[in-house]
Chain A
Amino acid sequence: MELEYIINSSIAIAKGCKITYSLFFSTLIFSLPLGLLIALARISKSNLLQAATGTYIWLLRGTPLLLQVFFIYFGLPAFGIKFESMTAAIVAFVLNYAAYFAEIFRSGIQSIDRGQYESADVLGLTYSQTMRRIIVPQMTKRILPPVSNEVITLVKDTALVFGIGLADVLRTAQIIVTRDFNISAFLIAGVFYLVNTLALTLIFRKLEQKYSYYTG
């Protein structure tokens, strides 16, 4: 393998980063808060909200993410809703990841001792104050490991958008491989994913350290 070839391929693949990164960050920015809202609805006293969010989570976790991407990109136009391919991918990813995050948040919230709610209650805090100031901050510490898992999965899941013709990192690599009959582009793509997941692993390790100032 020539060094020049590798450099040139890398530059080409780097162009695919734009799609991969914008999908990754858009998904995180929207699905984390949406997931928290779904989790709060899931544990609310309203039967309707419980049932609605339960069904939502079942549908979104129960079908392949690629199928959801297809449905939004190819299926929704039949109902008069048309998205650009990138928008379709972001919408599908946000809805899908919100379902997973919702379940992580729910388990985190429900792992907090009932005594925390009771002491906040007798001190006069409202439900929303209790959630914001007492429960969610403690939940955050507990859910870091599963959230880290999910975020690392997301890095790799972004490759699914090749299915609707978006030129992300993997798709760009594949084009080079077919064009040149040389698999080194795949290796470069692999290194790209590894470097990014390593960075995420380190970031989450730092976050866990930040929260290690207390136990319980």
Chain B
Amino acid sequence: MNILTVKNICKKFNNLEVLRGIDLEVNKGEVIAIIGPSGSGKSTLLRCLIRLETIDKGSVAIEGKPMVYQDSNGDSIYSSEKDIRILRKKMGMVFQNFNLFPHKSVLENIIEAPITVSNTPLIEAENIADQLLEKVGLADKRDSYPCELSGGQKQRVAIARALAMNPDIMLFDEPTSALDPELTGEVLKVMKALAEEHMTMLVVTHEMGFAREVANKVIFMDNGEIIEQGNPQEVFGNPKHPRTKAFLGQILR
């Protein structure tokens, strides 16, 4: 089942074209790794999907409902704020820099959105939070503050926080890039477990091992375009485009 449909997204920052006509279809339960050199537009693409950036052209639809569509002049028209809120609720996002709320404890970080946004009763929100903390292996950090956690622990809390809103799609924007190498493993393990539960995931990453092992589909982006996509065996084992070959040659050296 098609859960996310992206057509011809174009995005400019001033005069710099960061996305030049991206098409993408995501099926329910798919894990898609988006790889490519820095500045290729991977993160911007992810941010456009959840409207942290607005697009200039193209359309984004979630479960068949348009968040932004293209009118007959080719301009992108966003749906009403109310409709967008409903659609965005279906997505969760994890950032490179965690962006935990430093003044709130781990538990408070996780229950913040369920309580304020979904009006979940406190006890129920806490129960969900405790289950999620168990899942990411941080039940003992429930009452700690973010400043007391390691990077890997912070990112696992951030994942739990996003999951607490029960999203259908999880977006990961370089979730391990700010971590010390020895801490990436614990975060990737949590992500892998999520993938095994058939969570739909879009992961912008430099972790080729993760992309190869966990993703159903790998997308290689360069210069604002999707250059090549396919299953990991194809893209890693037998890249067709010279730019993909060059990139993989550099990174897997």
| Real binding pair | yes
A150 at the B interface (CB under 8 A): no
Do B116 and A216 touch (CB < 8 A)? Answer: no
Residues in B with CB closer than 8 Å to A216 are 102, 146-147
B interface footprint on A108-139 (CB within 8 Å = 1, 0 otherwise): 00000101101111111100010001100110
A79 at the B interface (CB under 8 A): no
Residues in A with CB closer than 8 Å to B162 are 122-123
Binds A, one of B69-77, B86-94, B185-193, B204-212: B86-94
Within 8 A of B (CB), among A201-216: 213-216
CB < 8 Å neighbour of A115 from B99, B112, B117: B99
CB < 8 Å neighbour of A122 from B88, B103, B145: B88
A141 at the B interface (CB under 8 A): yes
- Interface residue total, chain A, C-beta cutoff 8 A: 21
Within 8 A of A (CB), among B72-115: 85, 88-89, 91-93, 95, 97, 99-103, 112-113
Within 8 A of B (CB), among A138-169: 138, 141
Q: How big is the B interface, by class?
A: 20 to 34
> B48: shortest Cβ distance to chain A, in Å?
13
In whole angstroms, what is the CA distance A134 to B101 when docked? 7
Do A125 and B117 touch (CB < 8 A)? Answer: yes
Known contacts: A124-B89, A138-B103, A216-B147. The answer to whether A118 contacts B95 by CB under 8 A is yes
> A95: shortest Cβ distance to chain B, in Å?
31
CB < 8 Å neighbour of A141 from B103, B116, B117: B103
Do A125 and B116 touch (CB < 8 A)? Answer: yes
In whole angstroms, what is the CA distance A118 to B101 when docked? 11
Residues in B with CB closer than 8 Å to A119 are 93, 95, 99-101, 158
> B179: shortest Cβ distance to chain A, in Å?
16
Do A122 and B146 touch (CB < 8 A)? Answer: no
Find the B residue at minimum CB distance from A138. B103
CB < 8 Å neighbour of A124 from B95, B113, B145: B113
> A58: shortest Cβ distance to chain B, in Å?
31
Within 8 A of A (CB), among B105-143: 112-113, 116-118
Find the B residue at minimum CB distance from A140. B103
Known contacts: A118-B52, A122-B88, A124-B113. The answer to whether A214 contacts B147 by CB under 8 A is yes
CB < 8 Å neighbour of B103 from A115, A121, A124, A214: A214
Find the A residue at minimum CB distance from B102. A216
In whole angstroms, what is the CA distance A120 to B161 when docked? 11
Residues in B with CB closer than 8 Å to A120 are 101
> A108: shortest Cβ distance to chain B, in Å?
13
Residues in B with CB closer than 8 Å to A125 are 112-113, 116-117
Listed by A's residue number, 26 A-B pairs whose Cβ atoms lie within 8 Å are: A113-B97, A115-B99, A116-B99, A116-B101, A119-B95, A119-B101, A119-B158, A120-B101, A121-B52, A122-B88, A122-B91, A123-B112, A123-B113, A123-B162, A124-B117, A124-B118, A125-B113, A129-B117, A133-B112, A133-B116, A134-B101, A138-B101, A138-B102, A215-B102, A215-B147, A216-B102
Task: Name A residues whose Cβ lies closer than 8 Å to a Cβ of B.
Answer: 113, 115-116, 118-125, 129, 133-134, 137-138, 141, 213-216
